[in-house]
Structure 1
C-alpha cells in the first residue's frame, strides 16, 4: 500500500529538518572532542532526551505494542525492568561517570576511560573493549538499517533494496557532517516526536471505541487473560524480563550521553526529565498495543495487516485514525526512533575506531582536524558494513541482536559500576570481569540454561570475577587511588 502524498511530504520535511540540524552542528564542531562528545556541553534537557531517544529504538513503537497486542499486559514486565534499570543507571552511574572520565585524562570513549582508570600500559583493555563495541554495534547498526527499510517499504510501498538506502542515507548524512552535536540535537527533536506519537495514539483509539469503559469491556470480552500480568509466565520468566534493566549499566551509546553533560550538576535534573519521558513513552507503547486489541476486535475487517504481523499495530492504527497530515507526523515517530538509535551507534563505532585504534596505535600525534575527518570516514565505513549486512534482512548475523544488549550489559556493566564505586578494583579485575561477563552470555545463550535471560548470570559472574581477581591482585597504585578519591570528592561536593 502506497502512502498518500501528505504522509510522504511530512516524512520528507522531517528528514530534511534532521539534515539541516546536522549542518548547524557542523558549524559548532571545532575539534575532535566536539565531534565525538560535543565538547562536554550538553545541558540537562538535551542530555536527558538524547539518552532516552538513543536507547529506545523502533522496538518502542513496533516491538512492544506488538507484543502487548498478542499477549496482553504480561509483556509489560520488560517495561518495568527497563524503567528500574534506567533509574538506577541515572542514580549511580551518570554523575560519577561524568566526573571520573574527566579525571582520567579527559577520556572521550569507554575504552579510553578503562585504559586510564586502570593505568593499563599494555592497552589490552582498550583493544578488547573497542572490539566488543565494534562487533556488537555494527550488528546493531545493521538491525537499525533493516528497521528503517521495513518502515519505508510498508508505508510507501518502496522495494526493500531501495528502501534500504533511503532509510539509511539521511541518518548517515547528519552523523557524517555534524557528529555528536548533530546526533544529540536531532535526538532531542526525535524524542519529542516519539512521546507525541505514543501519547496521542491511544487517546484516539479510545475515542474511536466510544470511551475508556467500552474499550476495557471489549478487551475483557476478547480474552480476560489480557489483564493477567502473570499470563503464561513463571518466576524465571518474570525475573528474565525484569533482568533487561541490568543492561543499562553497560550500553556505550547511553553512557556516552552522561560523559557529554556540561556539568555533574546537570545530572539530577536530567534524570527527572529523562525518567518522566521514559515512563510516559513506555506507558504509551503499552496502551497502543492494549487498546489495539479492542479496536481490531471491534473492526475485524481492518485487522488483516496486524494479524499477519502484530508489530504493525501502531502503524495501522495511525493510518486508520488520523488525517494523512497528522499520520505523517505520528509515523515519523517510528522513523525518529530508528534514526536516533542508529545515529548514536554509528558515532560510537566511529569513536572506537578513531580514538581507540587510529589515534592510539597509528597516529598518536594526529591533529584535531585530521581526527575529525578520520571520524567521518569511519562513519561511512561502519555504515557501509551495516548496509551490506542488512542487504539480506533474514541473514543469521542479525539474530545476534537478540543478545547484543545482554553482551554489552554483562561485559561492560559490572566493570563500569565497580570502576565508579570501588577504589580497590584493578586492571586484572576489569579484564576478568569483561571476559567472564561476555563469555557467560554467549555460553548461556547457546545452552539455554534454566530458561533464564543470559544477562543475569553474565552480570553476576562478571561481578564476582571483578571482586576475586582484584583482591588476588596487588593494591592499585597510589596515583590511581588518588584520582579515584579526587573524582569521588568532586562528585559528592557537586551533589550536595
Structure 2
C-alpha cells in the first residue's frame, strides 16, 4: 500500500506540472518546440531520459542478466552515440533550426534542399509515424510489466493508467510540459539506477557471494567481455551490441528536437556536461543491476527477464524506498511515451497538414488538431500494446533501426557531404524503411541486427543515388522558397 501511495503521489505531481503549463495559452510552434525559457541542463536531462527510457530500465537490465559482461558494448555504443551527437551535431541543429524557423526533423531536412521537397517531407514523415506508433506501444507495454510485477494487477489496467497520464501531459502543455516532466523523470531514473546496484552489492557482500564466480558457473561466455567468442562470431556480437550508436547520430526526432530547442553555444556546453554525468551513472548502474541480479537470483526462473529491476526493488528495499524507486521505473516509460506521442503529432500537424498541404490553418486550429491527435494516437498506442506479445527491447530496437538509423544516415550525409542530393535523401529514407522491414521479418535479424545494417544500407543508396541524380543548382533569379512544400 505504501508503494502504491507513493507512485500515485508521483503521478499526481507530474500531472500538476502539466496543469501548470496548460494555464498559458500557447501557439503552434510553442506546442511543438517549447519556449525560450527552458534551461540547457533541463533539455539535456530530458534528452537523456527520452533517449534511454524503458529499454534501459527494463530491456537492458534484463539483457545484461541474460548475456553477462558482453552486454557492456550496448551501453558503450549508446553513450558514445549520445556524446558524438551533442559534441558534433547539436550546434548544427541549433543554428540551422533557429535560422530557418523549423519545428520538426523532417522540415529541418527539407530546408537543406532546393528540389523534391514534397517527396522528402512525406517519406520522412511516413517513416516516423509508422515506427513511432509501435515505439509508443512498447513504452505502454513496459508500464504494464512494471505495475503487474509490483502489484499483480492486470497489465491492461496498468497500461490504460499509463496511457491516460501520457495523454494528459502532452495534451495540456505540449513540448514544454513534456521537457520539464522529462527532466524530473530523468532525475528519478538516475536515482533508481544508482541506488539499486549499491543495495544489491551490499547484499552480495553480506551473503558472501561472488559476481565473477556466478558468471563463470553460468557458462555461455557470460564471464567474458567478448562473450567467449572469437573471429567473425565476435565481430557479429560486437556490432549487434554496439549498434545503438548509429541511431543517436541525429536521426531520432524526439532527441533532435531537444537540440533544436537550444538557444546558444553555452547551452550546448552545459548540455554536454550534463549528458556525460547522467550517462556514466545511469548506464553503469543499469549494467551493475543486471550483473548483481544474476548473482542474487541465479537459481530463480523469471518468466520475463525484463521484470528483473522492479522485482529487485520489491525484494531488497523497504516499501518507502521501493515506492520512490519504482516511480523512477515508471518515469522512464512515461518520459519516452510523451516524447514519442509529440513526435507523431508534430509529423502529422506540422509536416503533413501545415507544410505538406495547401490548406491554410490558423495557429489555434493547429493546436486543437494537435491535441485531438494526442488523444487519438495515445489510444492507438494502447491498443497496439494490448495486442502485441513482443518484448520491450525488441520493439524499440526495430524503431531505433527504422527511424533512428535511417534518418541518422540522412543527417550525417547532409551535414558532411556537399554532393548529397535531394533524390539521394529520398533514396536513403525509402531504402531505410524497406530494408528494416525486410530485415526484421527474416532470420537475418537474428544474425546481424537491423540497427547496424539499416544505417549502412540507407547510406549506401543515398550516396549512389546522389551521384546518379545530382541536384541542379537553381539560378540566382529563382526564389528557393517558391516551391510549395508538401
TM-score (norm 2): 0.90
**1:455 deviation in Å?**
3.0
- Report the CA distance between 1:421 and its aligned residue: 2.5
Alpha-carbon distance in 2 for matches of 1:79, 1:396: 19
> Gaps (5+ residues) in structure 2?
481-486
Q: Using a 3 Å threshold, how does the CA distance of structure 1 residues 158 and 396 change in structure 2: closer, same or farther? A: closer
More helix as a share of residues: 1
Give CA-to-partner distance per residue, 1:421-475, whole Å, 9 cap, x none: 3333221121122122322333333444492222333222322333333333144
d(CA) in 1 for partners of 2:208, 2:268: 40
Alignment partners' CA distance in 1, 2:476 and 2:151? 59
In structure 2, relative to structure 1, the CA distance for the partners of 1:178 and 1:236 (3 Å cut) is same
- Where does residue 279 of structure 1 map in the other structure? 280
Aligned length: 471
Give the CA deviation at 1:395: 7.2
The equivalent of 1:239 in structure 2 is 239
TM-fit CA distance, 1:198: 0.7
CA distance in 1, matches of 2:362, 2:172: 18
Q: Which runs of 5+ in 1 are unaligned?
A: 484-496
Q: 1:417 to 1:28 in 2, by over 3 A?
A: farther
Please state whether the residue corresponding to 2:297 is helix, strand or coil. helix
The residue number in structure 2 matching 1:486 is none
1:208-242 residue CA offsets vs partner (Å, 9 max, x unmatched): 22369854465357447533112254221212221
1:38 to 26, 34, 41: 34
3-state secondary structure, aligned to 2:26: coil
Select between 288-297 and 208-217 the one with higher mean Cα deviation: 208-217
1:180 aligns with 2:175: yes
- Once the 2 structures are TM-superposed, how far is the Cα of residue 148 of structure 1 from its aligned partner? 1.1
- Quick one: structure 1 residues 122 and 95, their matched pair in 2 at CA, closer, same or farther if it must change by over 3 Å? closer
Task: Give me the TM-score of the superposition, normalised by structure 1.
Answer: 0.88
For residues 287-302 of structure 1, what are the structure 2 equivalents within 5 Å? 287-297=288-298
Residue 29 (structure 1) shift: 5.2
2:106 paired residue number: 111
Verify the 8 A CA contact 2:60 2:393 in the aligned structure 1.
Answer: no
**Is 2:94–2:259's contact at 8 Å kept on the other side of the alignment?**
yes
1:27 aligns with 2:28: no
Conserved 8 A contact 2:138-2:392: no
Q: Secondary structure at the match of 2:35?
A: helix
- Bigger Cα displacement from structure 2, 250-259 vs 19-28: 19-28
How many angstroms apart in 2 are the aligned matches of 1:417 and 1:441?
19
Write the mapping of 1:356-367 to structure 2, written as runs, cut at 5 A: 356-362=351-357, 364-367=359-362
Q: Which residue of 1 aligns with 2:456?
A: 460
- Two-structure CA RMSD over aligned residues (Å): 2.6
CA pair 118-61 structure 1, distance change in 2 beyond 3 A: same
Distance 1:309 1:444 in 2: 25
Q: Distance in 2 between matches of 1:275 and 1:398?
A: 23
Kept after mapping to 1: 8 A contact 2:397/2:451: no
- Tell me if the contact between 1:195 and 1:280 (Cα under 8 Å) persists in the aligned partners: yes
